[in-house]
Protein backbone atom coordinates (compact mmCIF):
# COMPACT_ATOMS: atom_id res chain seq x y z
CA UNK A 1 0.00 0.00 0.00
CA UNK A 2 1.21 3.45 -0.84
CA UNK A 3 2.09 5.59 2.13
CA UNK A 4 0.07 8.77 2.53
CA UNK A 5 2.86 10.81 4.11
CA UNK A 6 6.61 10.61 4.23
CA UNK A 7 6.51 10.24 8.01
CA UNK A 8 5.16 6.69 7.97
CA UNK A 9 7.31 4.30 9.97
CA UNK A 10 6.91 0.72 8.85
CA UNK A 11 6.79 -1.67 11.78
CA UNK A 12 8.91 -4.73 11.24
CA UNK A 13 7.11 -7.85 12.37
CA UNK A 14 9.82 -10.47 12.48
CA UNK A 15 9.81 -13.31 14.99
CA UNK A 16 11.76 -12.51 18.12
CA UNK A 17 15.23 -13.90 18.46
CA UNK A 18 16.44 -15.73 21.52
CA UNK A 19 17.67 -12.67 23.43
CA UNK A 20 14.44 -10.79 22.76
CA UNK A 21 12.37 -13.74 23.87
CA UNK A 22 14.19 -13.77 27.19
CA UNK A 23 12.76 -10.27 27.82
CA UNK A 24 15.50 -9.66 30.36
CA UNK A 25 17.39 -7.20 28.21
CA UNK A 26 14.27 -5.17 27.53
CA UNK A 27 13.26 -5.32 31.18
CA UNK A 28 16.68 -3.96 32.07
CA UNK A 29 16.26 -1.13 29.57
CA UNK A 30 12.87 -0.30 31.07
CA UNK A 31 14.31 -0.32 34.56
CA UNK A 32 17.02 2.13 33.52
CA UNK A 33 14.32 4.44 32.18
CA UNK A 34 12.36 4.31 35.43
CA UNK A 35 15.55 4.88 37.41
CA UNK A 36 16.22 8.00 35.36
CA UNK A 37 12.76 9.27 36.25
CA UNK A 38 13.50 8.47 39.89
CA UNK A 39 16.12 11.22 39.95
CA UNK A 40 14.32 13.70 37.75
CA UNK A 41 12.77 16.93 38.93
CA UNK A 42 9.27 16.34 40.26
CA UNK A 43 6.25 17.95 38.67
CA UNK A 44 4.26 18.18 41.91
CA UNK A 45 3.22 21.56 43.29
CA UNK A 46 2.65 21.25 47.05
CA UNK A 47 -0.71 22.98 46.88
CA UNK A 48 -1.57 24.87 50.05
CA UNK A 49 2.01 26.07 50.51
CA UNK A 50 2.90 26.52 46.87
CA UNK A 51 0.43 27.80 44.34
CA UNK A 52 0.51 27.68 40.62
CA UNK A 53 0.72 31.21 39.24
CA UNK A 54 -2.29 32.18 37.16
CA UNK A 55 -2.21 33.96 33.88
CA UNK A 56 -3.40 37.61 34.04
CA UNK A 57 -6.47 36.65 31.99
CA UNK A 58 -7.53 33.98 34.51
CA UNK A 59 -11.19 34.40 35.46
CA UNK A 60 -11.74 33.55 39.10
CA UNK A 61 -13.95 34.94 41.87
CA UNK A 62 -15.52 38.33 41.37
CA UNK A 63 -14.75 41.52 43.27
CA UNK A 64 -16.79 44.69 43.44
CA UNK A 65 -14.34 47.48 42.79
CA UNK A 66 -13.98 50.79 44.64
CA UNK A 67 -12.58 54.04 43.35
CA UNK A 68 -9.43 55.75 44.60
CA UNK A 69 -11.29 57.32 47.54
CA UNK A 70 -12.67 53.97 48.60
CA UNK A 71 -16.23 54.54 47.33
CA UNK A 72 -18.18 51.72 45.70
CA UNK A 73 -18.34 51.97 41.92
CA UNK A 74 -21.48 49.91 41.42
CA UNK A 75 -24.66 51.79 40.55
CA UNK A 76 -26.94 48.75 40.41
CA UNK A 77 -27.74 49.34 36.74
CA UNK A 78 -28.28 45.61 36.26
CA UNK A 79 -26.32 45.28 33.01
CA UNK A 80 -24.18 42.54 34.49
CA UNK A 81 -27.25 40.59 35.54
CA UNK A 82 -28.65 40.96 32.03
CA UNK A 83 -25.39 39.90 30.45
CA UNK A 84 -25.02 36.89 32.71
CA UNK A 85 -25.78 33.73 30.71
CA UNK A 86 -26.08 31.63 33.87
CA UNK A 87 -28.39 34.08 35.67
CA UNK A 88 -26.14 34.00 38.70
CA UNK A 89 -26.35 37.69 39.64
CA UNK A 90 -29.10 39.29 41.73
CA UNK A 91 -29.14 42.87 42.89
CA UNK A 92 -31.32 45.53 44.47
CA UNK A 93 -30.69 49.19 43.92
CA UNK A 94 -31.08 51.98 46.48
CA UNK A 95 -30.80 55.77 46.50
CA UNK A 96 -27.80 57.41 48.12
CA UNK A 97 -28.85 59.48 51.16
CA UNK A 98 -27.23 62.69 52.32
CA UNK A 99 -24.04 61.97 54.26
CA UNK A 100 -23.37 58.76 52.36
CA UNK A 101 -21.23 60.44 49.67
CA UNK A 102 -18.08 58.90 51.12
CA UNK A 103 -19.56 55.40 50.68
CA UNK A 104 -20.99 55.41 47.17
CA UNK A 105 -19.61 57.19 44.14
CA UNK A 106 -22.93 57.93 42.42
CA UNK A 107 -26.48 58.69 43.50
CA UNK A 108 -27.63 55.14 43.13
CA UNK A 109 -25.95 52.12 44.66
CA UNK A 110 -26.47 48.39 45.12
CA UNK A 111 -28.11 47.70 48.48
CA UNK A 112 -27.98 43.99 47.83
CA UNK A 113 -25.62 42.28 45.38
CA UNK A 114 -25.39 38.50 45.27
CA UNK A 115 -23.61 36.10 42.98
CA UNK A 116 -24.36 32.40 43.15
CA UNK A 117 -20.95 30.87 42.63
CA UNK A 118 -22.45 27.47 41.91
CA UNK A 119 -24.38 28.89 38.95
CA UNK A 120 -21.63 31.18 37.76
CA UNK A 121 -19.66 29.83 34.79
CA UNK A 122 -16.86 32.40 35.15
CA UNK A 123 -17.26 33.62 31.57
CA UNK A 124 -16.46 37.24 32.40
CA UNK A 125 -19.40 38.71 30.47
CA UNK A 126 -20.45 40.71 33.57
CA UNK A 127 -17.05 42.34 33.59
CA UNK A 128 -17.38 43.22 29.91
CA UNK A 129 -20.90 44.55 30.39
CA UNK A 130 -20.12 46.82 33.35
CA UNK A 131 -19.97 50.51 32.32
CA UNK A 132 -18.66 51.62 35.72
CA UNK A 133 -15.56 49.40 36.15
CA UNK A 134 -17.36 47.97 39.16
CA UNK A 135 -17.09 44.21 38.71
CA UNK A 136 -13.96 42.25 37.92
CA UNK A 137 -12.96 38.63 37.95
CA UNK A 138 -9.82 38.00 39.98
CA UNK A 139 -7.10 35.37 40.15
CA UNK A 140 -8.60 33.49 43.09
CA UNK A 141 -11.10 30.67 42.83
CA UNK A 142 -13.98 29.57 45.00
CA UNK A 143 -12.92 27.52 48.05
CA UNK A 144 -14.64 24.22 48.72
CA UNK A 145 -17.40 24.08 51.33
CA UNK A 146 -19.92 21.66 52.79
CA UNK A 147 -23.02 23.88 52.49
CA UNK A 148 -24.53 25.11 49.28
CA UNK A 149 -25.75 28.25 51.00
CA UNK A 150 -22.19 29.45 51.52
CA UNK A 151 -21.65 29.65 47.79
CA UNK A 152 -24.07 32.56 47.45
CA UNK A 153 -21.66 35.45 47.86
CA UNK A 154 -23.28 38.65 49.11
CA UNK A 155 -21.96 42.15 48.88
CA UNK A 156 -19.70 41.88 51.92
CA UNK A 157 -17.97 38.84 50.43
CA UNK A 158 -17.52 40.49 47.08
CA UNK A 159 -16.44 44.03 47.99
CA UNK A 160 -12.77 44.73 47.53
CA UNK A 161 -10.94 46.06 50.65
CA UNK A 162 -10.72 49.83 50.98
CA UNK A 163 -7.69 51.14 49.01
CA UNK A 164 -7.05 53.93 51.56
CA UNK A 165 -7.56 52.07 54.83
CA UNK A 166 -6.11 48.70 53.75
CA UNK A 167 -3.88 49.33 50.75
CA UNK A 168 -2.01 45.99 50.94
CA UNK A 169 -5.19 43.95 51.11
CA UNK A 170 -6.61 46.02 48.26
CA UNK A 171 -3.58 45.41 46.08
CA UNK A 172 -3.66 41.71 46.86
CA UNK A 173 -7.37 41.38 46.10
CA UNK A 174 -7.11 43.47 42.94
CA UNK A 175 -4.28 41.48 41.42
CA UNK A 176 -3.28 42.29 37.86
CA UNK A 177 -6.71 42.52 36.34
CA UNK A 178 -8.77 45.06 38.27
CA UNK A 179 -8.46 48.57 36.86
CA UNK A 180 -7.21 50.91 39.56
CA UNK A 181 -8.34 54.48 39.22
Partner 1 sequence: MLLVIDWSLLMEKLLLIVVIVSVSLVIAMYETYAERKIAAYIQDRIGPDRAGPFGIFQPLADGLKLFMKEEIIPNTSNKFLFILGPCLAMLTAMMTSAVIPWGGSLHLFGRTITLQVADINIGILYIFGVVSLGVYGIMIGGWASNNKFSLIAALRGASQMISYELAMGLSLIALLMLTGSLSMKTIVQQQMDNGVWNIVYQPLGFLIFIICAFAECNRTPFDLPEAENELNFGYHQEYSSMKLGFYLFAEYINMFISSAIMATLFFGGYDIPFFNEATHIQTWGPNIVAILGTVALILKIGFFIFLFMWVRWTIPRFRYDQLMNLGWKSLIPLSLFNMLVTGAVILWKQNHWHF
Rule CB under 8 A: which residues touch partner 1?
A: 24, 27, 30-31, 33-35, 37-38, 40-44, 46
By beta-carbon proximity to partner 1, the closer residue of 42 and 102 is 42
Own/partner pairs, 40-47, CB within 8 angstroms, 24+ separation: none
Residue 52 CB, nearest approach to partner 1 (Å): 15
CB 65 within 8 A of CB 178: yes
Residue 139 CB, nearest approach to partner 1 (Å): 25
By beta-carbon proximity to partner 1, the closer residue of 33 and 111 is 33
Residue 83 CB, nearest approach to partner 1 (Å): 42
By beta-carbon proximity to partner 1, the closer residue of 33 and 103 is 33
By beta-carbon proximity to partner 1, the closer residue of 2 and 50 is 50
Residue 21 CB, nearest approach to partner 1 (Å): 9
Amino acid sequence: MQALTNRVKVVERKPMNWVERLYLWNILKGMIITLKHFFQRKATIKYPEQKRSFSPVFRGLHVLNRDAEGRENCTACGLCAVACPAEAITMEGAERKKGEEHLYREEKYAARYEINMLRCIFCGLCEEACPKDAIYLTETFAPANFQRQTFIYDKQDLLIPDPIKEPELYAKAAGGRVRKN
